Amino acid sequence: MLTRELFYTWIAIGLGISALIPGIETRCKRTANGKRYRLTIALLADDNNSNVTQQEGILMKNVVLTGEVGKCFLSPHYLKLKVHDSLGMDKKGWTWIKNGMEQASLSQGTRPGTRPNLIIGPFYTNLAMMLEREGIAYLVTDYKGFDWIDMSRVEDRVKWKTIVEIRPPAQEQNLAVVDLFSVNEWDSAVMVMPGQPRDNQECQDLASQLLNKQVSLIPYSVEARSDNAEAMIKEILRNARLSRQRHIIVCSPRDERDKLIEKVLKEAKLFDMLSKSKQYFIFVDPSSYLQPFAGANQMYRFGLFSARCQLLAFRYIRPSYDGTMQSAMEAASIDAARVTTLGLNRYITDQQETTNSFSDARFIKALKSVSLENGKTGIIHFNATGQREGYTLDLYKHGGEDMYERIAEWSFNGTSPDYRLNQTGIVNDPRKKPQIGIFPELVKVVVVIEDPFVMTKSISMERENREEFEGFTIDLLNHLQSALNFRYEIYVSPNNQYGAIWDGMVGEVKSGNATLAMGAISITSQREAAIDFSLGVLSTGVNILVSMPADHYTIFQFLKPFSLELWMAILGSSVVVSLVYFVLDYTRSEKKFTLKETLWFSVGTLLKRGTDFSPRPISQRVLTAGFGFFVLITVATYTANMAAFLTTKNLGKTITSFESLSENDDISCGTVRNSATMNFLSMGTKPVFKRLWEKIQESDGLVSNSSEGRERVARGNYAFIFDYLINAYSEGADCDIKAVASPILIQEHGIGMAEGAPFKTSINIELLKLKENGVLQGLKKKWWDDKRKCNIDVGNKKKSNVQFGVSHTAGVFILGAFGISCGVAFFLFKKFYLIAKPASRNTDEEDEKEKKQLCNASPGSVSRSSKHSIPTPV
């Protein structure tokens, strides 16, 4: 019994200690030992290793493990598997492939016995067989291998358990072309395709499907990379024109390499076939890249803007007007990375038990459950066997005035061509023609609620979603929408955060959930590495928001115009002048400037009261003139300063700079969590910023958004370091707070978008127009200057008048009361002092004084004596 209690005690102590270990929160809660799973990703490469470097870079950039996934998985280890040199794919069986994979793993630093958790690359049958046996996930990015093909995925109809396919099946894309022929009742066509059987398997499947639908097809094979390719194409087009064949199918599965579509267009232009309105060219490129139609430069190069023929192609990658579209390999690699990331997230989310072993079967299941609405290759969903489903193909025109006009939409779901191919309800605004290939049909804009950029307003629920918001960003978005003609939908970023790589607004754009990220999002190097940004919309910086200090009044505020030293100098000067008067008058027989009279004369002059007599000697008059001038200047100066001091509030000490904030230990500070400002302070190299970051950590100063920071500032003893524009708006809206310090970290607010976004140039041009026309400046005035409720800035703002109160002049009343009290006190003292003297003694002294005056025969004395002795007649 004692042993069991001791055992439980040690467990409790162990749990308590583990709670105090700093790194315990970073441990994986899904494993029994708390350690992270090892993750090995193998990339298939061709002989010359030309693709794997770029593909590895894409994966390393887009496979980012954060949150709980980052705690449970180590950073992926990438292997390079050359299909011929390492695996012997074209000569060996799947047993040799397995051994070759193990040898390549050991040679690239993988621990013995470690096998890949995921293989990414094109489809190889022998490799699929080996991975099926080993239970390893196989993320297929193309239907067939690089150069050598044993059997492409087009011909292979096996339901593999470990395969997850990124590309839409080529057979289904071919079915879209067949449905186009069926719906329009086209019964004949000419097909041009590559000559090598290993390059035209998709084309052979298309030809087979067309023949099954009773389409009379004339197929031609062309060695696209041979010297006589142009001559062969000329002969094919000459025959088509002579036979009046209106429908020409150009099938080029590897057109990025063969350039078959480009060669056909050049020869068709020579035959004047591009000017025939009833001539149809149907292009089939399973990669949906269609290099000759990638951008306006290519269109002008081939003269396609003036083409009157119908240049049609089904695409799952939206065409780009400015030519910035990514290659098919790059798009598939990005989607593979995103599927891998989401699959790992799903793996951890669905894991209920705690185990130290990684389950390949559950990982394959997690990959198949991934759903991505805005992938680079379209909507991504998988069925139980790992094949793409739920995607749509759009039929576009690629020439003439209707360039990039979407004329139909095809979906695999349906039992008939009319149901699968929708040629009705496709709305195209003529004003949008140049932009149809640039913007999605619905532009999703992610924002952060931040005054005054984006603010919510109370409206009826019957209105559209975008009308629920207002602010600078909403007005800017409306201007862009009006100029570029697109429809948009606004939604708030998760947790209302800006984000850095995979979180907040940046994460929404990077994951494809949002088309644009707009608001007070600063352009930083970290964000620029994750997504693209437009030109700067507004310039901003970082400053400090603090609470207004309380007003401080003193009852002796009337003494403030002069310093204590000056008051002492004035008093000393008066005393010195009094002494000089006394000395100058001391030798005279008729002394008027006694010590008492001299002091009273100086005080009277200083208070501009005047005296009962004036000095008569020249020396005293010169001294009086000089002292009077001194008093005049002193009083005038005091009056001027007094007016300023009484009409200006005396504010307590406050923060004025980042240096003063770092040195003030009585006030805490903070900023928004996971913001660009936080990253700047946390990585600051200057001592002042290091100290500020330490203060933020010590005082738990990080807040979730600027509204929370503003509230903490209003409560006092807190300084909020954040965006200058946001702080300026807060200062004008709340009179109890103010923005201080010169802005630092000067940056630009921009519009975030996915890397390589085709509409980036168009947005930049419109932003420049808005700046040149003064629209942006007008919007800034509307949402900052016109919304200001408080005039608290010193300089350009007018000061409000201060009404006098008792607090301004209380000291004067106290001083006056002090004078009255002293006068009454002296009077009472003298009165009671005289009463206390003996009456007889007073009478004897007066009689003696009168006798002396009579003896001296002084006229003045006689006069005074007569007043006492001779009564005044009535």
Q: How confident is the model at residue 790 (pLDDT cuts 50, 70, 90)?
A: confident
Show the DSSP H helices in 138-200 as ranges: 170-184
674/659 Cα distance (integer angstroms)? 23
Whether the pLDDT of residue 427 is over 80: the answer is no
- 281 & 420 share domain: yes
Note whether residue 672 is domain-resident.
no
Domain assignment present for 86: yes
* CA distance to 194, 305, 588, 757, per residue, from 439 (Å): 33, 20, 107, 9
What does the pLDDT average to over 58-62?
Answer: 76
CA atoms of 156 and 593, how far apart (whole Å): 129
Give residue 431's pLDDT band: very low, low, confident or very high (50, 70, 90).
Answer: very low
304 and 424 inside one domain:
yes
Whether 714 shows a pLDDT value over 60: the answer reads yes
Verify that 85 and 95 share a domain, yes or no. Answer: yes
Q: Which is more confident, 536 or 6?
A: 536
The pLDDT > 70 percentage for the chain reads: 77
By C-alpha distance, which of 121, 142, 149 is closest to 58? 121
Token readout for 798 is: 């007018």
Q: What is the pLDDT of residue 645?
A: 65
Confidence band of 866 (pLDDT split at 50, 70, 90): very low
- Tell me if 3 is assigned to some domain: no
Kindly state whether residues 475 and 598 are assigned to the same domain: no
Q: CA quadruple 318, 319, 325, 331: dihedral positive or negative? A: positive
590 pLDDT exceeds 90?
A: no
**Range among 42-56, 143-157, 168-182, 424-438 with highest mean pLDDT value:** 168-182
What is the gyration radius of the CA atoms in the chain, in angstroms?
A: 46
Does residue 94 register a pLDDT over 80?
A: no
Q: What is the pLDDT of residues 278-325, one digit of tens each?
A: 899 999 988 777 877 776 666 667 777 778 899 999 988 777 665 555
Residue 700 near residue 685, CB atoms below 8 Å: no
Question: Of 267-271, 318-322, 485-489, 797-801, which gets the smallest average pLDDT?
Answer: 797-801
Lowest-confidence range among 286-290, 435-439, 599-603, 754-758? Answer: 435-439
Least confident of 438-442, 484-488, 732-736, 854-858: 854-858
Q: Is the same domain home to 266 and 180?
A: yes
Q: Looking at residues 577-596, what average pLDDT do you find?
A: 70
What stretches of 642-708 adopt beta strand conformation (E)? 668-670
- What pLDDT is attached to residue 873? 44
Residue finishing a domain among 647, 680, 695:
647
Q: Could you tell me if 210 and 308 lie in one domain?
A: yes
> Which pLDDT belongs to residue 178?
95
Which pair of structure tokens corresponds to residue 604?
A: 């009277």
- Please identify, among 793, 826, 853, the residue that sits at the C-terminal boundary of a domain: 793
Residue 839 banded pLDDT, cuts 50, 70, 90: low
Cα dihedral: 527, 532, 534, 540 (round 10): 0
Contacts of 771 (CB under 8 A, 6+ apart): 777
Does residue 735 sit within a domain?
no
Which of 590, 618, 647 corresponds to the end of one domain?
A: 647
Residue 691 lies in a domain: no
Whether this model's pTM surpasses 0.75: no
CATH, residue 567 = 1.10.287
Rounded alpha-carbon distances, angstroms, from residue 77 to 166, 281, 325, 661:
22, 46, 29, 45
Same domain, 842 and 822: no
Question: Could you identify the residue written with the tokens 């002292």?
Answer: 627
Show Cβ contacts of residue 161 under 8 Å, excluding neighbours closer than 6 positions.
Answer: 132, 364, 385, 386
* Residue 678 within any structural domain of the chain: no
**Which of 187-191, 276-280, 403-407, 826-830 has the highest mean predicted lDDT (pLDDT)?**
187-191
- Indicate if the pLDDT at residue 84 is higher than 50: yes
Phi, psi dihedral angles at 344 (to 5 degrees):
-65, -40
Q: Which pLDDT belongs to residue 809?
A: 55
The C-alpha atoms of residue 584 and residue 647 are separated, in whole angstroms, by: 44
- d(C-alpha 830, C-alpha 826), whole Å: 6
Confidence of residue 192 (pLDDT cuts 50, 70, 90): very high
Return phi, psi of residue 442, to 5°.
Answer: -130, 115
Say which residue, 858 or 126, is predicted with more confidence: 126
One-letter amino acid of 147: D
One domain, residues 532 and 604: no
Question: Are 268 and 408 in the same domain?
Answer: yes
Do residues 702 and 696 make contact, with C-beta atoms less than 8 angstroms apart? yes
> H-helix or E-strand containing 622?
helix 618-647
Number of domains forming the structure of the chain: 6
Question: What pLDDT is attached to residue 851?
Answer: 59
In whole numbers, what is the pLDDT of the chain averaged over residues?
Answer: 78
Considering the domain architecture, whether residues 87 and 155 belong to the same structural domain is answered as yes
Per-residue pLDDT for 856 more than 60? no
pLDDT at position 646, please? 60
Could you give the C-alpha distances from 467 to 97, 289, 491, 494, in angstroms and in order? 59, 37, 11, 20
In a domain, 463, yes or no: yes
Question: How many Cβ atoms sit within 10 Å of the Cβ of residue 41?
Answer: 22
Shared domain for 452 and 405, answered yes or no, is: no
Residue predicted with more confidence, 415 or 417: 417
- The answer to whether 412 and 175 are in contact (CB under 8 A) is yes
Mean pLDDT for 215-230 is 90
255 lies in the same domain as 393? yes
* pLDDT score of 425: 55
Q: Which of 45-54, 104-113, 598-607, 782-791 has the lowest mean pLDDT?
A: 45-54
List, for residues 798-829, the tens digit of each pLDDT value. 444 444 555 555 555 565 566 566 656 766 77
Q: What is the pLDDT of residues 561-572, one digit of tens each?
A: 777 787 788 777
For residue 466, pLDDT over 60 is answered with no
Is residue 359 situated within a structural domain? no
What is the token pair recorded at 637? 């100066």
Domain limits for position 497: 442-537+750-793
Q: What is the pLDDT of residues 111-150, one digit of tens each?
A: 777 889 999 988 888 888 889 989 999 999 888 887 766 6
What is the per-residue pLDDT for 189? 95
User: Using alpha carbons only, what angle is made at residue 54 by residues 48 and 58, rounded to the nearest 5 degrees?
Assistant: 150
